[in-house]
Amino acid sequence: MAHSPGTEQNTQPLAPEDSAEHQPGAFISHRGEDADLAERLAEEIRQAGFQVWLDEWEIDVGDSIVEEINSGLENARYVVLCYSNAGVLSPWMGREWMSALARQLNGYGVKVLPVRLSGGEPPAILADIKYADLVKDWDRGVSELLRAMR
């Protein structure tokens, strides 16, 4: 994006002490195979009043994929990690949730919120974190997720 002389772009990540009040909502991290379910979940989160970053909504033809994902992650208060029958260790998904977990552990006001979207199991490092089970009961799982976001 071009900037006019005299304007500056804020490229600094949010600081730990002020991140929560400036972050707009949820970043949805999902496998391509689960795009339809991820979009359904994103719509429900948006209808509950949160801003949602979903790759299909935010990345246009000609955009830098890496830049857009980075921007979405930097501005997310929550990273909704969607467990999938296809796994969660794809290169893109792995970078998304691992960077979010590192930021969470370093106090940057971001929280990884796992959901079981189409099946699968959590990676070992997240095995102790309760997840919302949308496979077992979609409505209850979404309700639990939204409660965690309040």
> Amino acid letter at 31?
R
43 classed as catalytic: no
The Cα 93–Cα 97 span in angstroms is 6
The one catalytic residue among 44, 74, 96, 144: 96
Secondary structure percentages of the chain, helix, strand, coil, to 5: 40, 15, 40
- Minimal CA–CA distance to 28: which of 84, 74, 72? 72
Token look-up 């969470």 returns: 104
How open is the CA angle 108-24-50, to the nearest 5 degrees? 125
Instruction: Give the Cα separation of 119 and 75 in Å (integer).
Output: 28
Cβ atoms 76, 100 nearer than 8 A: yes
What is the widest separation between alpha-carbon atoms in the chain?
Answer: 54
Q: Which residues have a catalytic role annotated? A: 96
